[in-house]
């Protein structure tokens, strides 16, 4: 099933804020081998960490549209940071569908995410494309 | 750092176990990163690394090159999958040069490959010059 074109312009918030705790940060940094800083473990927040929240917002979008996650491949991701992420941040995210086109049976879904802190200030913005392969239902 | 500087190429090995740890840490449990059958059912050549795992390796290389400088921009297109075999791992090679230093920002030109093939399109990383410790 192709993705509904009326989606463009709709916004999907992540269901809950994310607390940037030393535990979360050190688990993420360990998984990708990001170098630690001179301070306590979990002090250095890897730049791709906001994907945790952007992913929550994307999942809210997929759930709302009943799109299977396993039919999604990440096509592009860019982040622009207004300030460094810090332990103690309480982050919220909203994903907006900014474009939709079809190429060879796949939907190319363009999205923009805004990630804000507890004061409402923008910490970073993300732009992503998600490639949805409708595929044959028999295949899965 | 000065424009034209060639940065020391970094090689990272990605294993299936790394993808499991990353799925847990990031919340992205898409089975195409864990399950060979699901990956093949959607037309992939096998289990692939999360695109964001590869981009995180770029972030890691940038942190190592710059002494953990403040990142202002980071992104790429995921143009070719990093296929991670069940045994051993895939080697992701991150090469970089300093493209420009201007207006307090250092822009890096990057080339990210696996098995000799580019896996990221138009990769970009920009860091704040005043925070570079290299």
Residue of chain B with shortest Cα separation from A58: B28
Domain of B91 in residue numbering reads as 6-14+50-131
Q: Domain for residue B79, yes or no?
A: yes
> In this model, does residue B124 exceed pLDDT 80?
yes
Model confidence at A135, in pLDDT bands (50, 70, 90)?
A: low
Q: Which residues contact A115 (CB under 8 A, 6 or more apart)?
A: A50, A53, A54, A91, A92, A93, A122, A123, A124, A125, A126
Does the distance separating the beta carbons of B56 and A35 come in below 8 Å? no
Q: How confident is the model at residue A1 (pLDDT cuts 50, 70, 90)?
A: low
- Note the pLDDT of residue A138: 36
**H/E element, B96:** strand B90-102
| Residue A139 in this model has a pLDDT that exceeds 50 | no
- Region A66-90: mean pLDDT is 94
Q: How would you write B1-65 as a 3-class SS string? A: CCCCCEEEEEEEEECHHHHHHHHHHHCCCCHHHCCHHHHHHCCCCCCECCHHHHHHHHHHHHHHH
Tell me how far apart the alpha carbons of residues B38 and B48 are, in angstroms, rounded to a whole number.
11
pLDDT score of B9: 98
- Residue A73 and residue B78: Cβ atoms within 8 Å? yes
Whether B94 is in a domain gets the answer: yes
Q: Is residue B61 part of a domain?
A: yes
Distance CA B36, CA A60 (A): 26
Q: With contacts defined as CB-CB under 8 Å, which chain A residues touch B32?
A: 70, 73
**Mean pLDDT along residues A77-101:** 96
Question: Which residues, listed in sequence order, are joined to residue B71 by a DSSP beta bridge?
Answer: B127
Domain count, chain B: 1
Q: Which CATH number does the domain housing residue B78 bear?
A: 3.10.129.10
Q: Would residue B26 count as lying in a domain?
A: no
Residue B122 lies in a domain: yes
Give the number of other CB atoms < 10 A from CB of residue B118.
12
Å between B100 CA and nearest CA of chain A: 18
DSSP-assigned letters across all residues of chain A: -PPPGGGTT-EEE-SS-EE--HHHHHHHHHHHTPPP-SSSTT-SPPTTTTHHHHHHHHHHHHHHHT--GGGEEEEEEEEEESS---TT-EEEEEEEEEEEEEETTEEEEEEEEEEE-TTS-EEEEEEEEEEEE---GGG-
Going along chain A from its start, the domains and CATH numbers come out as 7-139 (3.10.129.10)
- pLDDT grade for A75, boundaries at 50, 70 and 90: very high
The answer to whether residues A112 and A96 touch, using CB atoms and an 8 Å cutoff, is yes
Residue B12: pLDDT above 50? yes
Beta carbons of B78 and A76 less than 8 Å apart: yes
Confidence check: pLDDT of B90 > 90: yes
Task: Name which of A23, A16, A25 is nearest A84 in CA terms.
Answer: A25
Q: Does B115 map to a domain? A: yes
State the pLDDT confidence band at A104, using cuts at 50, 70 and 90: confident
pLDDT attached to residue B89 = 96
Specify the pLDDT at position A41.
76
Residues A19-73 have pLDDT tens digits of: 999 999 999 999 999 998 888 777 899 999 999 999 999 999 999 999 999 999 9
Under the banding of pLDDT at 50, 70 and 90, the label for residue B20 is very high
Q: Is B20 within the bounds of a domain?
A: no
pLDDT > 90 in chain A, percent: 79
B32-86 pLDDT, tens digit each = 999 999 999 989 999 999 999 999 999 999 999 999 999 999 999 999 999 999 9
**For residues B85 and B99, what is the distance between their CA atoms, to the nearest angstrom?**
34
Q: Name the residue in chain A with its Cα closest to that of B75.
A: A78
Which residues neighbour A56 within 8 Å (Cβ) at sequence distance 6 or greater?
A14, A15, A16, A18, A93, B27
Q: What is the ipTM of this complex?
A: 0.94
Confidence of residue A134 (pLDDT cuts 50, 70, 90): confident
Does any domain span residue B1? no
Chain A CA closest to residue B51: A74
**Residue A42: per-residue pLDDT:** 78
**At residue A136, does pLDDT exceed 80?**
no
B92: left (phi over 0), alpha (psi -120 to 50) or beta: beta
pTM: 0.94
Phi and psi angles of residue A81, each rounded to the nearest 5 degrees, phi first:
-110, 130
pLDDT value for A40? 79
CA neighbours within 13 Å on the CB side: how many for A87? 16
């Amino acid at each position: 099933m192709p993705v509904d074109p009326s989606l463009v312009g709709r916004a999907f918030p992540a269901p809950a804020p994310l607390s940037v705790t030393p535990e979360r940060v050190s688990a993420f940094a360990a998984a990708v081998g990001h170098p630690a800083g001179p301070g306590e473990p979990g002090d250095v927040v890897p730049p791709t960490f906001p994907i945790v929240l952007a992913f929550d917002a994307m999942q809210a979008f997929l759930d709302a549209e009943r799109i299977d996650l396993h039919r999604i491949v990440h096509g592009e991701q860019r982040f622009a940071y207004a300030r460094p992420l810090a332990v103690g941040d309480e982050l919220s995210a909203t994903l907006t569908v900014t474009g939709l086109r079809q190429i060879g049976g796949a939907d190319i879904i363009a999205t923009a995410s805004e990630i804000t802190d507890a004061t409402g200030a923008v910490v970073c913005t993300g732009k992503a494309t998600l490639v949805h392969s409708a595929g044959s239902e028999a295949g899965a | 750092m000065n424009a034209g500087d060639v940065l020391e190429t970094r090689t990272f090995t990605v294993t299936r176990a790394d993808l499991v740890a990353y799925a847990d840490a990031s919340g992205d449990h898409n089975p195409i990163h864990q399950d060979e059958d699901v990956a093949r059912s959607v037309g992939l050549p096998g289990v692939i690394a999360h695109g964001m795992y590869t981009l995180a390796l770029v972030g890691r290389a940038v942190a190592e090159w710059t002494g953990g400088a403040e990142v202002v921009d980071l992104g790429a297109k995921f143009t070719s999958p990093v296929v991670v075999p069940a045994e051993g791992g895939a080697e992701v090679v991150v090469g970089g040069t300093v493209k420009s230093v201007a207006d307090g920002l250092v822009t890096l030109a990057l080339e990210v490959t696996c098995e000799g093939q580019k896996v990221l399109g138009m990769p970009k990383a920009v860091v704040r010059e005043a925070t570079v410790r290299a």
